[in-house]
Amino acid sequence: MRRRSLALSLLALAPGASPRTALAQTVTRDVRLIVPYAPGGTVDILGRMLAEALGPRLGGRNVIVENRSGGGTFIAMQAVATAPPDGHTLSLSATAVLATAPVLPGFVMPMDTDHALAPVTNMIRVPMVLIGRPDAPYRTLPELIAYARANPGKLNIGNSGLGGQTHLLAARLCHEAGLSMEQIQYRGGTPALLDILAGNADLYFSLLPESLPFIRDNRLRAIAFTSPHRYPALPEVPLMRETLADFTGDVGYGMVMASGTPPEWIAFWNAELNRVMNDPAFRRRLEERFLVAMNGTPEAYREEVASDRRIWGEVIRVANIRAGS
């Protein structure tokens, strides 16, 4: 074992050796790719696309997608943080949760994400849209605000996890528009959409790829985008900020591993993920699903989390958002 470790170390230091050259033969079993949401949603689809693309590069080993939903994505984050740091377990991560959970008043962190997780790369950004039932007595955001003010407590709005982007957007809407609405927490976006489709819920800030098919067949109503500009797929749908000044907020996802993972493994997976994300055919598949590729270095993802923490931390402070609000 010592001779094998020494040989691998020398190979890693050899001129021209890449992380993949140095470590490919140490992928000794199937790789776990944890998805922090239920099957069927945007992040699950991304995970399965990555697993399909990465598998052939691993010398006959497979990438197994493992859905670990719930707990505001912390069930998944704990699963990857406590996995053996041997390079065989990765997890997709919700950037908003990593950014905001540590600064959300009243929220008891089940783990210290800054120290327990190692960033690998930022992956994607996704447009978000406020959606509702097509039979609702409002069609636009001003009409929704007027109805909710006239009927305090009658409407509810879903979120896909405590401290996540959908929770913060819902709380921010209620604060800035002066509304009283019940928040309902779901184990991901798909259950929230299904509840609205069944007539059991009223509103939800949805990832566009998940709700677009239902919007196009008039089973859901698109009320407003959180994006800074109108979105080409639905050019007639206005922006939140056209009614509520500066109200923007798309959602990002990245990849993380356990903090004790050797840097060689972080470099290996960063290189493999960047190769997949930069492949023209793969990028076309992302674009078809309205996903914007944001891959880069581990340091870039760490800075993205820090930047989002500054931005949303100020929103949390100004809107007086607390866990459970």
**Burial zone of 2 (CB within 10 Å; 0-12 exposed, 13-18 middle, 19+ buried):** exposed
Residues 310, 311, 317, CA angle at the centre, nearest 5°?
Answer: 85
Q: What is the pLDDT of residue 16?
A: 37
The single residue listed with the structure tokens 């800054």 is 114
Q: What is the pLDDT of residue 325?
A: 62
Indicate the pTM of the whole model: 0.78
Interhelix angle 208-216/189-197, rounded to 10 degrees, is 20
Closest CA to 163 of 252, 210, 205, 103: 103
Interhelix angle 280-288/42-54, rounded to 10 degrees, is 160
User: Using one digit for the tens of pLDDT, what is the confidence trace for 229-259?
Assistant: 888 889 999 999 999 998 998 889 999 999 9
Chain centroid to Cα 130, Å, comes to: 17
Pairwise CA distance, residues 51 & 163, whole Å: 28
Rg of the chain's alpha carbons, rounded to an integer? 21
> Is residue 71 within 8 Å of 63, Cβ to Cβ?
no
> What region, left, alpha or beta, does residue 226 occupy, with left being phi > 0 and alpha being psi -120 to 50 degrees?
alpha
pLDDT bucket at 190, cuts 50 / 70 / 90: confident
Domains and CATH numbers, the chain: 28-126+250-317 (3.40.190.150), 130-249 (3.40.190.10)
Q: Which of 22-26, 28-32, 140-144 has the lowest mean pLDDT?
A: 22-26
> Is residue 120 within 8 Å of 273, Cβ to Cβ?
yes
Pairwise CA distance, residues 273 & 49, whole Å: 11
The single residue listed with the structure tokens 């065989």 is 88
The average pLDDT across 134-153 equals 97
Q: How do strand 117-126 and strand 251-258 relate by DSSP bridges?
A: antiparallel
The average pLDDT across 125-148 equals 96
Which H helix or E strand runs over 299?
helix 298-319
